[in-house]
Amino acid sequence: MIGNYFKTTLRSLLKNRAYSFLNIAGLATGIACASLIFLWVQDELTFNHNFEKRDNLYTIYENQTYEGKMSTFHATPGPMAKAIKAEIPEIKNIARTGGTNNLLFSLGEKTINEEGSYADPEIFSMLKMPFVHGDITNAFTELHSVVINATMARKFFGDSDPVGKTLKINNEQDYTVTGVFTDLPKNSTFKFQWLAPLANIDHKMPWMMEWSANWTLTYVELVSSANVNGVNKKLQHYLASKNNGTKTECFLFGMNDWNLHDNFVNGKMDGGRIEYVRLFSIIAFIILIIACINFMNLSTARSEKRAKEVGVRKVMGAGKGKLIAQFIGEAIVMSFIAVFIAIGFMYIILPSFNNLVQKELSINISEPLHLTYLVSIGVVTGLLAGSYPAFYLSSFNPIAVLKSMKLPTGAGFIREGLVVIQFSISIILIVGTIIIYQQIQHVKNRDLGYNKNDLIYVSTQGKLSAHFESIYQQLKQSGVVEDASLSDFPVLQIWKNTDNYSWEGKQPAQNPLISFENVSSQFVRTMGMKLASGRDFYPNSSLDSNSVIINEALAKQMGKQGHVGAIIRNVGNKSYEIAGIVKDFLYNDMYAVSAPLVLYNNPTGTDVLSIHIKRNVNLQDALVKIGAIVKANNPGYPFEYKFMDDDFDQIFKTEALTGKLAGVFASLAILISCLGLFGLAAYTAERRIKEIGIRKVLGASVAGLTGLLSKDFLKLVGISCLIAFPVAWWALNNWLQNYQYRITINWMVFAAAGILAMLIALATVSFQAVKAALSNPVNSLRNE
């Protein structure tokens, strides 16, 4: 029996090649596209799954209160780990890291900057890191030991076992390689290429031992039986006892939430990447549904041609059940053909998709999860797409069908409804693409308060900072540099902050978090910032050691004291005179207004050298000249620079990706919908061929007939607009609420999306309509 069905299916597919192509291509595109998204989703959902103990691993976060609102931070005091390990029995293991460091490693002539961390040795067993070489238990018995990952080992030592060999760090200290671990997967929170004992930097500075200084990241492994809420209770006010009554609270943040739930609002978990995972999953399903709708629509349209077959089969004794089984079976055959084609598509598209989403996703058919997915998607889309045509076809009264060779009408309405759904979704996606793009551009074109273009920065390794004066002179003489300066951070991200500033008239309840940064005297000029009042720093920083420049936001906070010449005091109650007020500029949060900030004229110990290249010089030449100067003054270190505007673009990575994907999905949704529309138009034209013939004989023009045939479809697109516009407005208005600095939605966007959809639909439909209108009426009338 199945053989008999397959024969009719395959022969009828081959007989109607164009139809089959539209049907299968649409479905394959939908499946490929949805599957790529699901690959991405899988990657996001399995973040950190390489760590076996992930269910018991946590990191400690702090909620600090400023201006009555809680802000969440990752850094913790250095002594905390040891203390809580001793006091809280549920803690099985605890390890700290010093965050991420980019250090220069050298072996002979070979020098490479590598990112890694200083960490406590317990980290190895907590993360259960597999070692290729060396011994996990004795890795950190010596202070100057380092474990490196396989990639880094290969770079320095080729394929040989490097254990026992030495690498020089920062041209200063030799470290012995004590182990090589397998590279961490890309979808893991930890990105370190190397680990060295935290003891190398711990206790180096007196403040590192203080309970009031947050600088380590603390990782905790609980015993499996531990009650997390219980441990959190103990941690909540733990710091108050150590740090004279601080209001700062601590809590455990579970590894399983690190990737997807990393956003905190007023101390509470509030979304994060999970929102994008949800959004994209929904989009994937929508695309699948659009593709299925196509399939249903084209199948029911074509079914009118198969009316006779259904009638005959019924007269031959086929029951309803058997016919339903036949048509669903056919749909499943088609959907599996589509699945195979989709797999082919995916192999072709995957590299560019990986490039787009910055991941290394791969399809692995032999993996049970992927195989199950592919099989079930074939079955489910087959069922979904085949069920309506199946029930529709099998319900015909055989005599009526055989007598007229036509089907009872009624499917038309449902078909039109499905087209409306498809186009509504497409229009929503078009509007979404445009508005996301506008919002990103809106923020990108925002006046930052400084000039991010032609601005590069390098980190001040080795003697860079110490030799700044001579470097500066040479840079200025090179003729390619506008200005240069030192600072703690690149200007986009200023991560030093405190609420311990005071001034005359400051209210006890007033404790805004104030950022501060040490800079060299050229900073304001180099960045192209503007002073609202007062003066810039003196070139000689020692003459300026009691002066600060604040921003307008802080001046506003200080109220009456927010003027040049006023006094502001820091933690040690040291007084500074406000020498100048710089106009607000944006850092950290590009969507918000700028936060209060203090600049010190104090270049010692700064980590970043920013160089503003002259506008009209050749960038490549300039970089060569600058590189030569920097290297000459800092021998032994490579010249590695970053462009500030690249960093700036990086900030919008997620939004830009969302925008790009929305664009891709919108195009696909339109494409698939048009495939369906094309098929439907062909079908309508075919069904009305006799009417067209008669009208032509009666004198109708080609243009008139084209209009007649296209009109109904355009009406459907019109209805889709009416449905799509409010939904799109609502969804995007909601999305925009996430951003303080945002566009207002313009009605023009809706008009543009509507017109675009109309034009595309018209182009699709009119092709068929014109073809039908041009056909010779004698042929069509004779055939009837």
Partner 1 sequence: MLSLQHISKYYQVSGLKNFVLNDLSLEIDQGEFVSIMGPSGSGKSSLLNIIGMLDEPSEGYHYFAGHAVHQLKEKQRSALYKQYIGFVFQAYHLIDELTVYENIETPLIYQDFKGAERKAMVADILDRFNIVGKKDLFPAQLSGGQQQLVGIARALIAKPKLLLADEPTGNLNSKQGEEIMELFRKLNKEDGVTIIQVTHSEKNAEYGSRIINLLDGKIESSKQL
Q: How far is 270 from 272, CA to CA, in rounded Å?
A: 7
Q: Which residue has the tokens 């999905």?
A: 665
Residue 692 to residues 231, 406, 409, 707, 721, Cα–Cα distance (Å): 79, 18, 20, 12, 30
Among 316, 365, 698, 748, binds partner 1 (CB under 8 A): 316
CA distance 745 to 573: 49
The answer to whether 312 contacts partner 1 (rule: CB under 8 A) is: yes
Mode of pairing for the β-strands spanning 547-551 and 455-459: unpaired
Task: Confirm or reject binding of residue 315 to partner 1 (CB under 8 A).
Answer: yes
C-beta of 4: minimal distance to partner 1 in Å? 6
Q: Choose which of 319, 344, 412, 704 interacts with partner 1 (CB under 8 A).
A: 319
Nearer Cβ to partner 1 (405/571) = 405
Residue 399 interacting with partner 1 (CB under 8 A): yes
* Near partner 1 by CB under 8 A: residue from 30, 134, 311, 490: 311
108 binds partner 1 (CB under 8 A): no
Q: Give me the least distance between CB of 11 and partner 1, in Å please.
A: 4
Q: If binding is defined by CB under 8 A, does position 308 make contact with partner 1?
A: yes
Q: Can you give the three-state secondary structure of 236-285, one letter per residue?
A: HCHHHHHCCCCCCEEEEEEHHHHCCCCCEECCEECCCHHHHHHHHHHHHH
Query: What is the C-alpha separation between 239 and 224, in angstroms, rounded?
Result: 25
When the beta carbons of 195 and 307 are compared against partner 1, the nearer one is 307
Residue 717 DSSP one-character state: H
Nearer to partner 1, 108 or 317 (CB): 317
b/e map of 283-305 (b: 16 or more CB within 10 Å)?
Answer: bbebbbbbbbbbbbbbbbbbbbb
364-379 residues labelled b (16+ CB within 10 A) or e (exposed):
eeeeeebeeebeebbe
The single residue among 1, 365, 509, 748 that binds partner 1, judged by CB under 8 A, is 1
Give the distance from CA 28 to its chain's centroid: 26
Closer residue to partner 1 in complex, CB, 54/308: 308
Between the alpha carbon of residue 713 and those of residues 23, 308, 670, 761, the distances in Å are 19, 28, 15, 8
Distance spanning both ends of the chain, measured CA to CA = 34
Task: Determine if 90 is a binding residue for partner 1 (CB under 8 A).
Answer: no
Binding of partner 1 by 317 (CB under 8 A): yes
Beta strands in 264-344 (DSSP E): 264-265, 268-269
Cα 781 from Cα 265, distance rounded (Å): 71
Q: Of 144, 322, 467, 614, which lies in the binding site for partner 1, with binding defined by CB under 8 A?
A: 322
Under the criterion CB under 8 A, does residue 309 sit at the interface with partner 1? Answer: yes
Taking the complex as a whole, the smallest distance from the CB of residue 18 to partner 1 amounts, in Å, to 17
Smallest distance, Å, CB 316 to partner 1?
4
Nearest distance from residue 309's CB to partner 1, in Å?
A: 5
Binders of partner 1 among residues 10 to 49 (CB under 8 A) are 11-12, 15
Shortest distance in whole angstroms from residue 673 CB to partner 1: 29
Q: Which is nearer to partner 1, 7 or 631 (CB)?
A: 7
| CB contact at 8 A, 681 and 711 | no
Q: Site size for partner 1, by CB under 8 A?
A: 21
User: Counting contacts by CB under 8 A, is residue 7 touching partner 1?
Assistant: yes
Angstrom CA distances, 35 to 29, 475, 568, stand at 10, 53, 58
- What tokens appear for 213 in the block? 């200084």
Could you tell me the two tokens for 739? 């951003």
* Residue closer to partner 1 (CB basis): 309 or 647: 309
What are the distances in angstroms from CA 92 to CA 82, 86, 128, 233, 690?
A: 12, 10, 14, 17, 83
Least distance from partner 1 to the Cβ atom of residue 399, Å: 5
Q: Please identify, among the stretches 314-322, 329-337, 434-442, 592-600, the one whose residues bind partner 1 according to the rule CB under 8 A.
A: 314-322
CB nearer to partner 1: give 206 or 317. Answer: 317
Residues 369-398, interacting with partner 1 (CB under 8 A): 398
Q: Which of 318, 714, 731, 770 binds partner 1 (CB under 8 A)?
A: 318
402: contact with partner 1 by CB under 8 A: yes
Question: Does residue 686 touch partner 1 according to CB under 8 A?
Answer: no
Residue range at the interface with partner 1 (CB under 8 A); choices 1-9, 127-135, 147-155, 691-699: 1-9
Q: What's the chain's length in residues?
A: 784
Interacting residues toward partner 1 by CB under 8 A = 1, 4, 7-8, 11-12, 15, 308-309, 311-313, 315-319, 322, 398-399, 402
